Homo-oligomer: A and B are copies of this chain.
Amino acid sequence: MNKKIPKSTVTRLSIYLRDLDNLEKEGARYVSSLELSRRLGVSDAQIRRDLWYFGQFGRSGMGYHVGSLKDIIMKLLGINQKRWHVAIIGVGNLGKALASYKGFAERGFEILACLDVDKNKVGRRINGVKIEDINNLRQIIEKRKIKIGIIAAPVSSAQTIADELVKSGIRSIINFAPIKLHAQKGVDIRNVDLSMELEGLSFYLSRSNA
């Protein structure tokens, strides 16, 4: 009976986190799984089970302490632990939206590069970051010690970009193209082991082997 944590549980943690934040602002001290259930549309049993994987945080007859639970989940999600250097590859609508999303900074992600194939875009700035030529990917990643790459490019090029990123020494890839990236020619990528929610988007963080 050992605890293997479902991917879906991790995804839901961030949903809980957001709502606990709201609850805190509303001044609630305790919240029961049933009340959370009604607020979020997730079953109460589900919520208890999700938390169960990580320990015992509730008080019988009272529920969960909003502040503490929030802290616990933040720690579980590893938010604010370190700062991460990030590159965004592909500056279409999605890439632009991501690049100008302030939430990244708050969560410890620092965007140090935006890359695109389109020469017309190269040189422009988004949110203070210059758009650079994708051909320089390798040097940029290496020189700026970028450890996370966000792929917001079309499916057709996603795998190639992923390979290039891995060769440049990247550690994690957040892939928005709807394919599961896979290893090719000896390059070793581990697929999806974490997902999170930011502004209603589902992030799938697939990190390479250490």
- Where the two chains meet, the residues of A that have a C-beta atom closer than 8 Å to any C-beta of B are 14-15, 18-19, 22, 38-42, 92-94, 96-97, 100-101, 152, 154-156, 175-182, 191, 197, 199-202
Among B39, B92, B176, B200, the residue within 8 A (CB) of A152 is B200
A200 touches B177 (CB 8 A): yes
Given A19-B155, A155-B19, the answer on whether A181 and B94 have CB atoms closer than 8 Å is: no
Chain B residues with CB under 8 Å of A201's CB are 94, 176, 201-202
**5 more CB-based (< 8 A) A-B contacts, given A96-B97, A97-B97:** A38-B182, A41-B181, A176-B200, A201-B201, A202-B202
Q: For the complex, what is the distance from the CA of A180 to the CA of B200, rounded to whole Å?
A: 11
Whether B22 and A156, one on each chain, are in contact in the complex, defined by CB atoms closer than 8 angstroms, is: yes
5 A-B pairs closest in CB distance: A41-B180, A176-B200, A178-B197, A93-B97, A97-B97
Closest chain B CB from A38 CB (angstroms): 8
Q: Which residues of B contact A176 (CB under 8 A)?
A: 199-201
Indicate if the CB atoms of B97 and A179 lie closer than 8 Å. no
B178 near A14: Cβ-Cβ < 8 Å = yes
- Tell me which residues across on chain B come within 8 A of A177, comparing CB atoms: 200
How far apart are the CA atoms of A97 and B199 in the complex, in Å? Answer: 13
Q: Is the CB of B93 within 8 A of A100?
A: yes
CA distance A197 to B39 in the complex (A): 27
Q: Are B182 and A41 in contact (CB under 8 A)?
A: yes
Please give, as numbers and ranges, the residues of chain B lying within 8 Å of A19 by CB-CB distance: 155, 179
A27 to B: closest C-beta gap in Å: 15
Closest to A155 in B: B18
